[in-house]
Amino acid sequence: MKKYRILVTNDDGIDAPGIRKLIEIAKDYGNVTVVAPDSPRSGQGHAITMNIPLRLEELYRQNGHAEYKCSGTPVDCVKLAEKAILKGNADLVLSGINHGSNASINIIYSGTLAAVLEAAIEGVPAIGFSLLNWANDANFDNGEQFVRQIIENVLEEGLPQHVGLNVNIPDIPENEIKGIKVCRQAKAYWDEEFDLRQDPHKRDYYWLTGVFKNLDEHNDTDEWALKHGYVSVVPVQADFTAHNSLHFLKKWESNAK
Protein backbone atom coordinates (compact mmCIF):
# COMPACT_ATOMS: atom_id res chain seq x y z
CA MET A 1 0.00 0.00 0.00
CA LYS A 2 1.22 3.47 -0.88
CA LYS A 3 2.45 5.55 2.09
CA TYR A 4 0.66 8.87 1.74
CA ARG A 5 2.07 12.12 3.10
CA ILE A 6 -0.65 13.45 5.36
CA LEU A 7 -0.76 16.84 7.08
CA VAL A 8 -2.94 17.06 10.20
CA THR A 9 -4.06 20.33 11.78
CA ASN A 10 -6.98 21.84 13.71
CA ASP A 11 -8.11 24.98 15.53
CA ASP A 12 -8.55 23.61 19.06
CA GLY A 13 -4.77 23.37 19.47
CA ILE A 14 -2.25 20.54 19.30
CA ASP A 15 -3.18 19.12 22.73
CA ALA A 16 -6.94 18.77 22.07
CA PRO A 17 -8.35 15.23 22.33
CA GLY A 18 -9.96 15.60 18.88
CA ILE A 19 -6.66 16.07 17.02
CA ARG A 20 -5.00 13.27 19.01
CA LYS A 21 -7.73 10.90 17.74
CA LEU A 22 -7.35 12.14 14.15
CA ILE A 23 -3.55 11.67 14.31
CA GLU A 24 -4.04 8.09 15.56
CA ILE A 25 -6.35 7.34 12.62
CA ALA A 26 -4.18 9.15 10.05
CA LYS A 27 -1.11 7.07 10.98
CA ASP A 28 -2.83 4.02 9.50
CA TYR A 29 -2.78 5.68 6.09
CA GLY A 30 0.67 7.16 5.77
CA ASN A 31 3.40 9.35 7.16
CA VAL A 32 1.82 12.01 9.30
CA THR A 33 3.09 15.55 9.81
CA VAL A 34 1.19 17.49 12.45
CA VAL A 35 1.38 21.30 12.36
CA ALA A 36 -1.20 22.71 14.75
CA PRO A 37 -1.71 25.86 16.82
CA ASP A 38 0.06 25.97 20.19
CA SER A 39 -3.22 27.08 21.84
CA PRO A 40 -6.94 27.10 21.00
CA ARG A 41 -7.76 29.21 17.95
CA SER A 42 -11.50 28.67 17.58
CA GLY A 43 -13.43 31.41 15.79
CA GLN A 44 -10.35 32.57 13.90
CA GLY A 45 -11.95 32.06 10.49
CA HIS A 46 -9.48 32.52 7.66
CA ALA A 47 -7.22 34.86 9.64
CA ILE A 48 -3.53 34.96 8.74
CA THR A 49 -0.61 36.40 10.66
CA MET A 50 1.04 39.26 8.80
CA ASN A 51 2.22 41.77 11.36
CA ILE A 52 4.07 39.59 13.87
CA PRO A 53 6.61 36.81 13.30
CA LEU A 54 5.51 33.17 13.29
CA ARG A 55 7.14 30.53 15.47
CA LEU A 56 7.31 26.83 14.65
CA GLU A 57 8.61 24.34 17.20
CA GLU A 58 9.39 20.69 16.45
CA LEU A 59 8.05 18.50 19.25
CA TYR A 60 8.60 15.03 17.89
CA ARG A 61 10.04 13.17 14.88
CA GLN A 62 10.20 9.39 14.58
CA ASN A 63 9.48 6.65 11.99
CA GLY A 64 8.22 9.12 9.37
CA HIS A 65 5.91 10.94 11.76
CA ALA A 66 6.57 14.46 13.03
CA GLU A 67 4.75 17.03 15.14
CA TYR A 68 5.18 20.81 15.28
CA LYS A 69 3.35 23.46 17.23
CA CYS A 70 2.86 26.85 15.59
CA SER A 71 2.23 30.27 17.12
CA GLY A 72 -0.19 31.22 14.32
CA THR A 73 -3.68 30.49 13.07
CA PRO A 74 -4.85 27.25 11.42
CA VAL A 75 -4.38 28.88 7.99
CA ASP A 76 -0.82 29.86 8.96
CA CYS A 77 -0.25 26.20 9.95
CA VAL A 78 -1.28 24.94 6.51
CA LYS A 79 0.77 27.56 4.68
CA LEU A 80 3.87 27.00 6.82
CA ALA A 81 3.58 23.21 6.68
CA GLU A 82 3.21 23.17 2.91
CA LYS A 83 6.08 25.58 2.25
CA ALA A 84 8.57 25.16 5.08
CA ILE A 85 8.15 21.46 5.96
CA LEU A 86 6.43 19.38 3.27
CA LYS A 87 7.66 21.59 0.39
CA GLY A 88 4.50 21.10 -1.66
CA ASN A 89 4.42 17.32 -1.25
CA ALA A 90 1.31 16.80 0.88
CA ASP A 91 -1.11 14.23 -0.55
CA LEU A 92 -3.90 15.02 1.90
CA VAL A 93 -4.73 17.55 4.60
CA LEU A 94 -6.91 16.46 7.53
CA SER A 95 -8.29 19.02 9.99
CA GLY A 96 -10.00 18.32 13.32
CA ILE A 97 -11.57 16.40 14.80
CA ASN A 98 -13.21 19.65 15.89
CA HIS A 99 -14.89 19.93 19.27
CA GLY A 100 -18.34 21.12 18.14
CA SER A 101 -20.29 21.57 14.91
CA ASN A 102 -18.90 23.22 11.81
CA ALA A 103 -22.03 22.54 9.80
CA SER A 104 -23.96 25.26 8.00
CA ILE A 105 -22.78 28.85 8.59
CA ASN A 106 -20.36 27.75 11.33
CA ILE A 107 -17.88 27.02 8.54
CA ILE A 108 -17.18 30.74 8.02
CA TYR A 109 -16.05 31.28 11.64
CA SER A 110 -14.14 28.01 11.92
CA GLY A 111 -10.37 27.80 11.87
CA THR A 112 -10.65 24.04 11.38
CA LEU A 113 -12.53 24.51 8.12
CA ALA A 114 -10.40 27.50 7.10
CA ALA A 115 -7.46 25.06 7.05
CA VAL A 116 -9.46 22.82 4.69
CA LEU A 117 -10.35 25.74 2.41
CA GLU A 118 -6.73 26.94 2.38
CA ALA A 119 -5.55 23.49 1.27
CA ALA A 120 -8.29 23.41 -1.39
CA ILE A 121 -7.21 26.84 -2.68
CA GLU A 122 -3.68 25.43 -3.03
CA GLY A 123 -4.99 22.36 -4.86
CA VAL A 124 -4.42 19.78 -2.09
CA PRO A 125 -7.30 17.39 -1.20
CA ALA A 126 -8.52 18.19 2.32
CA ILE A 127 -11.14 17.01 4.78
CA GLY A 128 -12.38 18.71 7.95
CA PHE A 129 -14.00 16.54 10.63
CA SER A 130 -16.16 17.86 13.48
CA LEU A 131 -18.06 16.08 16.23
CA LEU A 132 -21.25 17.72 17.53
CA ASN A 133 -19.99 17.86 21.10
CA TRP A 134 -18.10 20.83 22.58
CA ALA A 135 -16.91 18.98 25.68
CA ASN A 136 -13.23 18.30 26.22
CA ASP A 137 -14.12 14.71 27.16
CA ALA A 138 -16.34 14.06 24.12
CA ASN A 139 -16.15 10.49 22.82
CA PHE A 140 -14.25 10.70 19.53
CA ASP A 141 -14.64 6.95 18.98
CA ASN A 142 -18.19 7.77 17.88
CA GLY A 143 -18.07 8.06 14.11
CA GLU A 144 -14.56 6.63 13.70
CA GLN A 145 -15.65 4.11 11.06
CA PHE A 146 -17.10 6.97 8.99
CA VAL A 147 -13.95 9.08 9.38
CA ARG A 148 -11.94 6.12 8.07
CA GLN A 149 -14.34 5.43 5.22
CA ILE A 150 -14.29 9.04 4.01
CA ILE A 151 -10.48 9.22 4.20
CA GLU A 152 -10.27 5.98 2.20
CA ASN A 153 -12.71 7.27 -0.42
CA VAL A 154 -10.66 10.45 -0.89
CA LEU A 155 -7.32 8.60 -1.04
CA GLU A 156 -8.71 6.16 -3.62
CA GLU A 157 -10.81 8.47 -5.78
CA GLY A 158 -9.49 11.97 -5.08
CA LEU A 159 -11.63 15.09 -4.98
CA PRO A 160 -12.57 17.61 -7.68
CA GLN A 161 -9.81 20.24 -7.94
CA HIS A 162 -9.97 23.07 -5.37
CA VAL A 163 -12.77 21.28 -3.47
CA GLY A 164 -12.52 20.04 0.12
CA LEU A 165 -14.97 18.25 2.41
CA ASN A 166 -16.78 19.52 5.49
CA VAL A 167 -17.71 16.39 7.49
CA ASN A 168 -19.83 16.66 10.63
CA ILE A 169 -20.62 13.74 12.92
CA PRO A 170 -23.72 13.56 15.14
CA ASP A 171 -22.97 13.01 18.82
CA ILE A 172 -24.66 9.62 19.14
CA PRO A 173 -23.29 6.11 19.64
CA GLU A 174 -21.67 4.84 16.43
CA ASN A 175 -24.15 1.97 16.01
CA GLU A 176 -27.00 4.48 15.94
CA ILE A 177 -25.50 6.56 13.11
CA LYS A 178 -27.64 5.94 10.03
CA GLY A 179 -24.95 6.44 7.38
CA ILE A 180 -23.43 9.19 5.24
CA LYS A 181 -25.39 11.95 3.49
CA VAL A 182 -23.85 14.21 0.84
CA CYS A 183 -25.49 17.61 1.28
CA ARG A 184 -25.32 21.34 0.79
CA GLN A 185 -24.67 23.91 3.54
CA ALA A 186 -27.94 24.95 5.24
CA LYS A 187 -28.78 28.68 5.28
CA ALA A 188 -28.50 29.87 8.87
CA TYR A 189 -27.07 32.59 11.08
CA TRP A 190 -26.13 33.26 14.69
CA ASP A 191 -28.49 35.60 16.49
CA GLU A 192 -25.98 37.31 18.74
CA GLU A 193 -26.53 38.73 22.13
CA PHE A 194 -23.91 40.89 23.75
CA ASP A 195 -23.60 40.55 27.47
CA LEU A 196 -22.76 44.08 28.71
CA ARG A 197 -20.74 44.21 31.98
CA GLN A 198 -18.62 46.64 33.94
CA ASP A 199 -15.02 45.94 34.89
CA PRO A 200 -13.64 46.82 38.37
CA HIS A 201 -12.56 50.20 36.92
CA LYS A 202 -16.20 50.98 35.93
CA ARG A 203 -15.46 50.60 32.22
CA ASP A 204 -18.03 48.79 30.07
CA TYR A 205 -17.16 45.65 28.16
CA TYR A 206 -19.06 43.05 26.14
CA TRP A 207 -19.03 39.27 25.88
CA LEU A 208 -20.22 37.75 22.62
CA THR A 209 -22.91 35.07 22.97
CA GLY A 210 -25.58 33.89 20.56
CA VAL A 211 -28.18 31.39 19.42
CA PHE A 212 -27.95 29.40 16.19
CA LYS A 213 -30.91 30.04 13.86
CA ASN A 214 -31.55 27.63 10.99
CA LEU A 215 -33.46 29.28 8.11
CA ASP A 216 -33.47 26.19 5.94
CA GLU A 217 -35.33 22.98 6.86
CA HIS A 218 -34.87 21.25 3.49
CA ASN A 219 -33.81 17.61 3.50
CA ASP A 220 -30.78 18.19 1.24
CA THR A 221 -28.90 20.19 3.90
CA ASP A 222 -26.24 19.30 6.45
CA GLU A 223 -28.44 20.44 9.34
CA TRP A 224 -31.20 18.04 8.23
CA ALA A 225 -28.76 15.13 7.88
CA LEU A 226 -27.26 15.66 11.35
CA LYS A 227 -30.67 16.07 12.97
CA HIS A 228 -31.71 12.76 11.43
CA GLY A 229 -28.66 10.80 12.61
CA TYR A 230 -26.46 10.93 9.51
CA VAL A 231 -22.85 11.99 9.07
CA SER A 232 -23.04 15.07 6.79
CA VAL A 233 -20.54 15.54 3.96
CA VAL A 234 -20.56 18.92 2.19
CA PRO A 235 -18.15 19.57 -0.70
CA VAL A 236 -16.74 23.06 -0.07
CA GLN A 237 -14.78 25.63 -2.05
CA ALA A 238 -13.60 29.20 -1.63
CA ASP A 239 -15.79 30.74 -4.35
CA PHE A 240 -17.90 33.50 -2.79
CA THR A 241 -19.57 34.48 -6.07
CA ALA A 242 -23.36 34.49 -5.81
CA HIS A 243 -23.66 33.06 -9.32
CA ASN A 244 -27.48 33.22 -9.28
CA SER A 245 -27.31 36.99 -8.67
CA LEU A 246 -25.05 37.88 -11.61
CA HIS A 247 -28.06 38.35 -13.89
CA PHE A 248 -29.83 40.73 -11.45
CA LEU A 249 -26.81 43.03 -11.42
CA LYS A 250 -25.99 43.04 -15.13
CA LYS A 251 -28.13 46.14 -15.73
CA TRP A 252 -25.79 48.13 -13.46
CA GLU A 253 -22.91 47.69 -15.88
CA SER A 254 -21.62 50.79 -17.62
CA ASN A 255 -19.17 51.58 -20.36
CA ALA A 256 -17.59 55.01 -20.43
CA LYS A 257 -16.17 54.48 -23.90
217 vs 257: CA distance, rounded Å: 48
For residue 98, state whether it binds a second copy (rule: CB under 8 A): no
For the chain, the maximum distance between any two Cα atoms, rounded to a whole number of angstroms, is 66
Q: Which is nearer to a second copy, 26 or 165 (CB)?
A: 165
Q: Is 56 helix (H, G, I), strand (E, B) or coil?
A: strand
Within 58-97, the residues that bind a second copy by CB under 8 A are: 75-76, 79-80, 82-84
Residues 6+ apart with CB under 8 A from 110: 11, 42, 43, 45, 98, 102, 128, 130
For residue 203, state whether it binds a second copy (rule: CB under 8 A): yes
For residue 256, state whether it binds a second copy (rule: CB under 8 A): yes
For residue 151, state whether it binds a second copy (rule: CB under 8 A): no
Torsion 56-30-126-133 (CA) sign: negative
Among 20, 153, 171, 212, binds a second copy (CB under 8 A): 153
Residues 6+ apart with CB under 8 A from 163: 120, 235, 236, 237
For residue 134, state whether it binds a second copy (rule: CB under 8 A): no
Window contacting a second copy (CB under 8 A); options: 13-21, 28-36, 132-140, 227-235: 227-235
Q: Is 127 helix (H, G, I), strand (E, B) or coil?
A: strand
Q: How far is the CB of 179 from a second copy (least distance, A)?
A: 4
Within 28-57, the residues that bind a second copy by CB under 8 A are: 40, 42-51, 53-56
Among 15, 194, 218, 228, binds a second copy (CB under 8 A): 194
For residue 133, state whether it binds a second copy (rule: CB under 8 A): no
Torsion 9-11-12-14 (CA) sign: positive
Q: Is 252 helix (H, G, I), strand (E, B) or coil?
A: helix
For residue 143, state whether it binds a second copy (rule: CB under 8 A): no
Among 60, 87, 196, 201, binds a second copy (CB under 8 A): 196
Q: How far is the CB of 230 from a second copy (least distance, A)?
A: 9
Please give the helix or strand (H or E) that residue 109 lies within, else none: helix 106-109
Within 171-190, the residues that bind a second copy by CB under 8 A are: 177-185, 187, 189
